[in-house]
Chains A and B, each alone.
Chain A
Amino acid sequence: MADMVARTLRITAPPDDVDSVHQALESVWAVVPDLEPRDRMSIETAVIELTANVIQYANRGRAVSFALTIVVYDDRVEATLSDSGEVDDVGLHSRGMPDAMAESGRGIPMIQALVDSVEHRRVEGFNHWTLVRAREAARDSVTPARGMPSVSISGVIDEMSRQRALEELGILDTPPEERFDRVTRLATQLFGVSGSAINLIDRDRQWSKSMVGSFPSEVPRSQSACAITIETDQTLIVPDLSQWEGHEHIGIPGEFEFYAGHPLYAPGGERIGSFCVFDASPRHFSEREVAMLRDLASWVQQELSVSQELSRAAEVQQGLLPQQLLSMPGWDIAGMCLPARAVGGDFYDWYPVGEGAAFTLADTMGKGIGSAIIAATVRAVLRSAARFGDVTGAVDAAAAALTGDLDSTGVFVTLFHARLDMDTGEVTYVDAGHGLTFIAKQSGEVRRLRSTAPPLGIDIETEWVAQTESLEAGDALVSVSDGVLDLYAGVEEALESVTSIVMLAESAEEIVDAMRARARGVAPDDVTVLVVRRDAA
């Protein structure tokens, strides 16, 4: 294939409108000076008519986003527009020109007259429009290429999978993190430049996860040098941005005159952004510096993978919480676990045992991955031990099994473990240093259950003693982790709040929801709640 120039533009209307498309097209025409004026006018007019139609009709007048790709070959020009509009038929049927006095209805016939082929396909919720016009110079010798797939459509599909990979990473618009900031800080010192950034290319913007330098954390994609970097796997070095052919508008005299960037990848290999350094004046970048930049980029890459693995770990941990509701007529059970980080050391659990159920709420010292691993172990050990004995037997067996692990990691675990007889309402429990379980009576009286033993991992000689309580109609047993206390001024205030929540709520789920609303966004520690409520008579 001969020479080819391709550009993809991203438009969201509003705020963009057809004038944004005109401006974008001008930047395309600027790099293909040999394109005949007639071809340029025809494809521009056709693209504008199509764009106007999509803006007006594709999303029934609501905002619509689309990608427009223009490819100029030596024998033809192709324009592909992909929009996310819900309307799958904008009416590209041949209708002919309307009457001379008509004030509308000429757009579609004009498109058909201006280009050699018009195609529409709907794929997975997207409309793909392709316009092809044979260039004047080649008009006599070449039949315009028709049909799919063309280079332009594959470019658009690449962009979509890229976007999806970026979103799955779950990093966009998250707060700054030291593990990324240290790399950009180090880079500015290492290279002696005015700035460094970790930039991700999201739809029509560049968003910076980390930034040293005086630029906003969000800029239009059209102004982004990193958006050019992600077009290939190569390190992009622009010693003098004012001399960057075709991208002269990206540099800012006196502020942004040098750029070097290396692509960053999603786990699936999609180029999602770039690690870059930049300076206020033009400069040389040596081979050695290129190698260092790549090393730093692979460091950032590792940190990005950790983000991805953490969010996987979070999914796994949430999966360990009981998914099934217990079928216990006359009883209502609910729970929640909000880790302060991606994963946490708290968990709750329940499962049927005999004529009732077993309940656990545990809090492993610390936060994050280490405590999550211990928490998963505690859950598994307790579950298997519960099959063979009563409450004390289960806790005893679990404590014995865990002793080695807890000793060697220096971690301890507070635990509330209970058995409920669903017929009598009798609750037998062991409280290992937890002390954050309450029984709220329907009358408004609330009682905190006494801790019966020290936490697991403190003293292997502990003798586990069970206590018994009774839940009557309308009573609720509420067990929480100490993260809940952080939401209040103290234990007394927490107790009061929990009491009023229990009195006002009509189900266990409502109690949990009220606590969740309180904790969301403000909890510094893992917040876990377990509620067992006996239906009111």
Chain B
Amino acid sequence: MSENNPALEVRNLSIQFGGLKAVDDLSMTIEKGALYGLIGPNGAGKTTVFNMLTGVYKPTSGSVLLEGENITGRSPTEINKAGIARTFQNIRLFKAMSVLDNVKAGLHNETHYTAIEGALRLPRYFREEKRVTEKAKELLGVFGLEKELDTKAQNLPYGKQRKLEIARALATDPKVLLLDEPAAGMNPNETAELMDTIRFVREKFDVTVLLIEHDMRLVSGICERVTVLNFGQELAQGETSAVLNDPKVITAYLGE
């Protein structure tokens, strides 16, 4: 692995469900530290791309390289360990667990003691729990959730649930963070705040961000480059402002 490898490289990625080619021959290169957007009309295959990147679906052909390492076809757990974390379009929190425990579950592979050490309360349990709890609290502080540590995740208001999901993803210490429609259901104020958060997260945690979004203000506001998908195929790719003004893209979104 050389230092110059891009954070994430997608090569000719395709997936077929029966007769339907949901994603067809998609390639993109995301440089380290980039804020990259993946946009397109409903049903274009954006979330399917995320599911392939995170191992939920196995691509029919093509490959995914994380910092030069081929991770195609690995299980979701292995891909997370390799360094990709994600959030979901329809929020998937650990609903019945507290806010703090959600993040501590995210720190699972950061917590170094065995099940037996835990069940018998050996010294390493206390040391590690203390360290991990501090880390989780610090992370929650970044997202302004430090006052709600004991709240059940399902009782949080919607905006905070989205933030908690990002915090949980960051807890796994990823190289690449995938955000699936982070601004869905947010009002303009919340969206503006979210944009600041995403920028801040990229600096503070030194991650590369790939996001799916419909809110064009957010995309044009923070994404440096974008790829536009339409019917599973790449429609355009490049600098955000150039792509968003491309007549092809405007037609795809608004129709003829």
The answer to whether A and B come from one shared complex is: no
